[in-house]
Structures are given as structure tokens and as C-alpha cells.
Amino acid sequence: MKKRIISVMVIMSLMFTMLPTTVSAARKGCILGGTEPTIFDALEILKYLSGMDSAIKEKGKINAEKMDAATISKEGKKKGGTTIFCALEILKYLSYMDNEIGVNHSPRPPAAPKSVWASAGDGMVTVHWTEPANMGGGTFVRYEVSDTNGKHWFPTMSLSYTFRGLANGKKYTFLVRAVSSAGNGITTSVTATPTPPASSLSDEVVTITNQYRVNAGKSPFVSDNPNLNSAAMKRAQELVAYYDHVRPDGRDWSTVFEEFKVKWSGIAENIAYGYSSPREVVEGWINSPGHYQNIMGNYTHIGVGVARGGDGTMYWVQLFVR
């Protein structure tokens, strides 16, 4: 068995070192049934020959140019021209027909960067990504990012890029691509919305909420309890990990008041995520009967928490106390 394997390897070496510079007319004797040859035809010929070495030698039927038909394909079909000569002719033919049979040995543009995400801040967004699965055989040159749908590209050698001077509350789409010696790679995208600091967002939520309260003939909430505000911020951070009125450790949401030493005789909680601005989230609560009832309820104080997830999603909390 080892001898046969070595024999095939030697033949393969010969095939690739003996490729001629022109396509010989003799190849047509190795193309059967009007079908185009493939690399598998050449390999099947070699496989057949390696298995027939002993029998051929014993019967003295080695012929460098012609051999009787033999069953060599995986489907068991009969093909003629099962000689090294024909294997070489097939490879010779394929080497000059690469483009026509869809074989391309030239480097391709890079694949798209993987795991693209964005983190938003006050008037800024940082886009992050990981390396493409492959560079297509070309040499890496740089990465490029765009916030103008590809109209303008900014180069970088790192795996992140920060856009500054953006409008808060506006949703942006960012494009990322790798560039290699073979050209521009496949583009991928991510969206994000710049937002001001959480403290100013919380203040704005209180202001808008109180506007609705006053318009409905209610007294505005008081928001000067630091412990209540800290409890609300804690709940917002918890929502990033586990979005529910149950806390990540399984306790009820109301246990946060005891944790932050907030005294109460009545409490309520509103939560939300995915809204990009204080006005959007408050309007979302106003348009939901249960949340609206909490906002217009018989409570005196409010605490607001805002947290941003790793993908830029905003999580919002209102805690009400009387």
C-alpha cells in the first residue's frame, strides 16, 4: 500500500512539472461523451492507475498513449484514455481554461469585519469590530469607516473608530470595511444614537414627566432624594443584564428601596428600553395605560435611572414614592 501511495505522489509531481505551454489537440481523445474534463477526471485516472499497477505490469500492457476503457469514476461509469498521458492532457487543458470554468487564483477583496457594534456617548459614537474571517489572499492595507453611507471614508489601522461632533438623539448608520492589496472588502454596518450623560437625561425625564403632571392638574414630582435617584440608577443598570420587574438575583424590584434606605408608604416602577431620548420614552409611558396610571398616581417623589447597554441600547427607569 505504501508503494502505491508513493507512486501516486510521484505521478502528481510529474503532472505539475510537465505542464506544456500550449493546449495539445491530443486532449480531445481524453474528453469523453462531449463533457468538459475536470481535475477530478485526472485524479480518478491516477487512482485507477495506482490500483492497477501490479496487474498492468504483469500483463505487459503499459502504454504511454492509449489504454482500453476502464471503470474509474465514483459512479462506476466507463471512461477511456486512462493513462498518465490523458491525466496530463486534462491538467494542461484546465490550466488554460481557468476563467471559463470559474477557477480564479487571484487574490479576492477581504471578507466583511466580524462582530461590529457601537457605543454611544454625548455627541459621539465609537464603532468597534473584529478582524474579517479572511483577507481573500491579499495583503492587509487598512480599515475604513463611514458615517455618510460611503460618501466619505476615514482610514484607521485599529479595530475601532470614534466619530465626534454628532447630533444627540439622531440615529446614525456607520459602515466598516477592510482594504487589502486586492481592493475594498465587503462592507458591514451598525446603527447608534449619540446621547448626553445619564444625569442630564434623568433630569430631562423628570422635567417632561412633570409637564404632563401639571397639564393634568397634578402636583409636580420632587426629585431631590439622592437615595431614591441611586436606587433608580441601580435598577437601570440591572435592566441591562435582565429586563424585568424581577431583579437579576431573583428578588422583587421593590427590594431596591430597602437596599438604598428609602422609606415609603406606596411605591411604583416604570421601565422601558430602546427609546433614544427622554421625550420618546416619557411619551411611550404616557401612551401605555398602566405606566400612565403610575405617572399620574398619588405619589410625591420620583427617581430616574438611565443606563446604556454594550450595544448602545438605552434602559430607562422611573421609581415613584409616597
Write out the DSSP string of 99-141: TTTT---S-BPPPPPEEEEEEEETTEEEEEEE--S--TBS-EE
Q: Give the integer Cα–Cα distance in Å for 257 and 264.
A: 8
Q: Residue 220 burial by CB count (10 A; 0-12/13-18/19+): exposed, middle or buried?
A: middle
Q: Give the integer Cα–Cα distance in Å for 317 and 273.
A: 9
At 1 the pLDDT is 35
Q: Which of 270, 209, 265 is nearest to 236 (CA)?
A: 270
At 52 the pLDDT is 56
Q: Give the integer Cα–Cα distance in Å for 48 and 142.
A: 49
At 170 the pLDDT is 86
| Rg (alpha carbons) of the chain, rounded to whole number | 36
Buried residues in 83-111 as b, exposed as e (16+ CB within 10 A): bbbbbbbbbbbbeeeeeeeeeeeeebbbb
Q: Give the integer Cα–Cα distance in Å for 245 and 149.
A: 39
Q: Give the integer Cα–Cα distance in Å for 38 and 48.
A: 16
Q: Give the integer Cα–Cα distance in Å for 180 and 233.
A: 45
pLDDT tens by residue, the chain, 322 residues: 333 333 333 334 443 443 333 334 334 445 444 455 566 666 666 666 666 555 544 444 444 333 333 433 333 333 444 566 666 666 666 655 554 445 555 788 999 998 898 888 888 999 999 999 999 888 999 999 999 988 999 999 999 999 999 988 788 999 999 999 999 999 999 998 887 777 788 999 999 999 999 999 999 999 999 999 999 999 999 999 999 999 999 999 999 999 999 999 999 999 999 998 899 999 999 999 999 999 999 999 999 999 988 887 899 999 999 9
pTM: 0.47
Q: Which of 105, 90, 101, 107 is nearest to 42 (CA)?
A: 90
Phi, psi angle pair for 37, to nearest 5°: -75, 155
